[in-house]
Amino acid sequence: NRKIKIAPSILAADFADFGAECRAIEAQGCDWVHVDVMDGHFVPNITFGPATCAAIRPHIKGVMDVHLMIAPVDPYIEAFAAAGADVISAHLEAGPHIHRTLQAIRGAGCKAGLAINPGTPVEALDYLLDMVDLVCVMTVNPGFGGQKFIHSQVSKVAKLRAMIGDRPVHIEIDGGVTADTAPLVAAAGADVLVAGSAVFKGGSVANSAPYGANIRAI
Ligand code: DX5
Ligand code: ZN
């Protein structure tokens, strides 16, 4: 029985109060903090960069899980590592040299994550699984929180878990995770569940108790 980790995405938090939001979700029992970096080029939305990650870092005791939805990736890996990322995930679709990117992430002293869009088959990971600590299976098209879970990805998770075999590789699910969809991906072999709207709904920095209830409900 694999222990499931919950990684709230601060994309659904109060952008004017990230420090307090990170402290609140950790106090409410989350495992990792998921940080979504978007560039308005690889995805049609812009969030923030390494300076914001560095500012958030002292407010997170546990794992800072940085999801880069940017292209190119390689010129920015050192900056996100210096900002204190524990895990850096890059997208397979973000450039022609994902093998080099994964080497660079580990070279910078971080755990290497490989994120794949809903349209990307797991077979594309065949020659990469020994280079990663985590595969992030996108269950929405990246760019925005609050989208609907894409159910066709559940069988992808099961296939991927079989491919991973006994390697120590996490399967992270990102997008549309709720109390309804979480059991489906957990049963298929996922062990890190990112959740934005499902964690932050109904709460605020001032009243963060709903965050805890939401985390426990997932
Ligand atoms: C989407 C981001 C996700 C997003 C998840 O591009 O990578 O992390 O914030 O949000 P929800 O849980 O609301 O789908
Ligand atoms: Zn994400």
CA angle 1, 115, 99 (to 5 degrees): 110
User: How far is 135 from 91, CA to CA, in rounded Å?
Assistant: 10
Note the ligand closest to the C-alpha atom of 142. 1
pTM: 0.98
User: Which one, of 127, 134, 185, 194, lies nearest residue 156 by Cα?
Assistant: 185
User: How far is 104 from 114, CA to CA, in rounded Å?
Assistant: 12
17 assigned to active site: no
* pLDDT confidence band for 2 (50 / 70 / 90): low
Structural domains in the chain, sorted by start:
5-217 (3.20.20.70)
ipTM of the complex: 0.98
11-59: per-residue pLDDT in tens?
A: 999 999 999 999 999 999 999 999 999 999 999 999 999 999 999 999 9
CA of 43 to the centre of ligand 1 (A): 12
Q: Which of 32, 197, 200, 215 for mutating ligand 1's site (highest number of atoms within 8 Å of CB)? A: 197
Cβ atoms of 147 and 44 closer than 8 Å? no
77-113: per-residue pLDDT in tens?
A: 999 999 999 999 999 999 999 999 999 999 999 999 9
